[in-house]
Amino acid sequence: MTLGSVISVLALSGFTSSALGQANPERTLIRGAALVITMDPTLGTGPLGLIQNADVLIEGDHIVAVGPDLSPHHAEVVDARGKIVMPGFVDTHDHLWQTVIRGCEADEAFGGWAAGCTNPILNEKIHHEDAEAFVRLGALATLATGTTTILENSHAPTMAFADGTMDALEASGQRFVLAYRFRVGREQHVRDIYTNRILPNPLANFEVGGPVPSRSPAALADLTAAITIARELTTKVNIHILETAGDRANNPVSVLQDVGAFTDFDGRLVLNHLIHTTDAELDLMAAHGAAATHNPMSNMRLASGVMRLPDIHARHMKVGLGFDGGTADTPDMFETMRSAIGLQRATTHNPKIFPGVEDVLRMATLGGAEVLGLQDQIGSLTPGKKADIIIINPNDANFAPRVDWVNQIVFNGQPGNVEWVFVNGNTLMKKGKFVGADEQAILEEAQAARDRVMARL
Ligand SMILES: [Zn+2]
């Protein structure tokens, strides 16, 4: 911890306790954590901003102080002794609705998986309440692994599907980005969602998703329309690109160039998977500030390939981690971080290749926030940022004893080690149990929805 940060932390804590001076149920003190990973190098030691034996004070929706021995004055105290406190995980790419096809087509690459699992149902067969049930379950599963922010890239085959998705995202209590897969003719629907449901909701954010870029007339029309509405709303554009080797045949980067996705969306283009790229394409993407999402569990499951993460990092592109829906198959950020490391090591035989432990922890938190453009709000425990925080209990059979907790989070961590989850200052998980979510009801609704959809086939 630097002297300046000690002073700022103490000043902040002093300010809050004297300014409030009376009972305020909206203050929570996470007290006595054995280790706080702030992800803010100005607050603690090393690139992850580590602080031993420290507290985190939450007031309302945001963090007001991080440091040792903060005053519990009128705060609800959460005992974090022996535990690790860190920013919640940011899932930068998901399709939560795909809980409906968990475990489907276990031995197929993308084409066979889509043909067998998603194509038969990705139409009017999924009704509003079905999409809601699937997304609600998917979101709950990400919460269980400490995910406080989700990006839902919604295929939105119908407007009812998109509405059900919004209902579920709102009900989750998690921070979210809806990346709405746009189609010609949906302009007013998107404007309505954006104006009536995204802008008034402090947890809601929006991007325009487009189809996989190709020169087929239908895809090109949807992509062009997506770019147009994204210009109008000044949002990011979210695209799947070069996930499979076969995607090269469509030269999707040239398609994006032709519709202005690079020049007109400097710093506002998010590219998912980005596996089968050339050096020149990476140069172009980096030059326009395109961000990338890495989905290692999906890439392994579908035999898609290995993202050129070291080359992308060398070009200073922002990269976040994602679960990618049904191909993950279970959202587990610990496994995702391990896999991001393991894929590069296994293919290069180099244990020092990017990413290392600190790199994946950053990608899973602040790096992901940067990909979503939310780095001023979340991703680190910097006072003033929103209180999106998790508490990890390392005193478990898969994790103990204490050797190097930072390494252990990545190599030993499991969702079951996540005990507390706070989003925007609200407690969504407490001592390993969901708060405000009826898990059994959510499971039953998802099963009933799955049965309804299958009956319509
Ligand atoms: Zn995807």
| Cα 255 to ligand 1 centre (Å) | 19
pTM (two decimals): 0.94
Share of the chain above pLDDT 70, in %: 95
| Cα 35 to ligand 1 centre (Å) | 34
| Cα 150 to ligand 1 centre (Å) | 13
| Cα 383 to ligand 1 centre (Å) | 33
| Cα 238 to ligand 1 centre (Å) | 10
| Cα 310 to ligand 1 centre (Å) | 21
| Cα 243 to ligand 1 centre (Å) | 9
pLDDT of residue 61: 96
| Cα 224 to ligand 1 centre (Å) | 20
Closest by Cα among 443, 395, 389 to 416: 395
365, 90 Cβ separation under 8 angstroms: yes
Closest by Cα among 140, 136, 137, 203 to 168: 136
Q: pLDDT (tens digit, 0 to 9) for every residue of the chain, 457 residues total?
A: 343 443 343 333 333 333 333 334 589 999 999 999 999 999 999 999 999 999 999 999 999 999 999 988 899 999 999 999 999 999 999 999 999 999 999 999 999 999 999 999 999 999 999 999 999 999 999 999 999 999 999 999 999 999 999 999 999 999 999 999 999 999 999 999 999 999 999 999 999 999 999 999 999 999 999 999 999 999 999 999 999 999 999 999 999 999 999 999 999 999 999 999 999 999 999 999 999 999 999 999 999 999 999 999 999 999 999 999 988 788 999 999 999 999 999 999 999 999 999 999 999 999 999 999 999 999 999 999 999 999 999 999 999 999 999 999 999 999 999 999 999 999 999 999 999 999 999 999 999 999 999 999 9
| Cα 38 to ligand 1 centre (Å) | 29
| Cα 173 to ligand 1 centre (Å) | 22
| Cα 189 to ligand 1 centre (Å) | 22
| Cα 88 to ligand 1 centre (Å) | 21
| Cα 93 to ligand 1 centre (Å) | 6
| Cα 60 to ligand 1 centre (Å) | 34
| Cα 146 to ligand 1 centre (Å) | 20
| Cα 137 to ligand 1 centre (Å) | 18
| Cα 216 to ligand 1 centre (Å) | 20
pLDDT of residue 8: 40
| Cα 125 to ligand 1 centre (Å) | 20
3-state secondary structure the chain: CCHHHHHHHHHHHHHHHHHHCCCCCCEEEEEEEEEEECCCCCCCECCCCEEEEEEEEEECCEEEEEECCCCCCCCEEEECECCEEEECEEEEEECHHHHHHCCCCCCCCHHHHHHHHHCCCCCCCCCHHHHHHHHHHHHHHHHHCCEEEEEEEECCCCHHHHHHHHHHHHHHCCEEEEEEECCCCCHHHHHHHHHHHHCCCCCEEEEEECCCCCCCHHHHHHHHHHHHHHHHHCCEEEEEECCCHHHHHHCHHHHHHHCCCCCCCCCCEEEEECCCCCHHHHHHHHHCCCEEEECHHHHHHCCCCCCCHHHHHHCCCCEEECCCHHHCCCCCHHHHHHHHHHHHHHHHCCCCCCCCHHHHHHHHHHHHHHHHCCCCCCCCCCCCCECCEEEECCCCCCCCCCCCHHHHHHHHCCHHHEEEEEECCEEEEECCEECCCCHHHHHHHHHHHHHHHHHHC
| Cα 155 to ligand 1 centre (Å) | 9
β-bridge partners, 240: 272
| Cα 240 to ligand 1 centre (Å) | 6
